[in-house]
Amino acid sequence: MKGACFCGAVSYEVTGDPTLRAFCHCTLCQRLTGSPFIHTVHFPSSAFSWTHGAPHEDRLDAYAVASKPHKTRWRCKTCGACVMSANAKTGSCSVWGAHLARDDAGKIIDWDRVKPTAHMFYGTRMLDVDDSLAKWEGYENGSARLDL
């Protein structure tokens, strides 16, 4: 699957199947994006590669927040969009569904591979989401399931 930032200066590819695909309602994602939740898709780090011209760092800024120094986020120097995060603790990376390639109708290509299976960190949600997906206090199948 291919993805890119808003302006297209930074692009990437992920291969294989995701290890997690969910709507994340954590306060960190809320503050980083200004949105009530994001569609996050996690892969093993080995499944990720940059596809824009090298040297890749010329187009990217890296940063980590103090509360999660093991998680490096990469954003485009041109448009500022965060396009990937790498987690040194878990050996995984995450991309946001909104950045994935779309077809002519505007639908994410290979949607069935990345469509969310749950809501995570739902306890800190900014709004209620009335759908059939499971709601979790933390990570899906790794925390308490919320019965709402």
Ordered by start, the domain boundaries in the chain are 2-146
Q: Determine whether domain 2-146 maps to CATH 2.170.150.70.
A: yes
pLDDT digits (tens, 9 = 90+) for 30-45: 998 999 999 999 999 9
The end-to-end CA distance of the chain, in Å, is 34
By CB atoms closer than 10 A (0-12, 13-18, 19+), residue 60 is buried
Give the long-range contacts of residues 87-91, CB within 8 A, separation 24 or more. 87/45, 91/44, 91/45
pLDDT digits (tens, 9 = 90+) for 92-142: 999 999 999 999 999 999 999 999 999 999 999 999 999 999 999 999 999
Q: What is the pTM of this model?
A: 0.93
Q: Specify the pLDDT at position 147.
A: 85
Q: Quick check: 116 and 45 in contact, CB under 8 A?
A: no
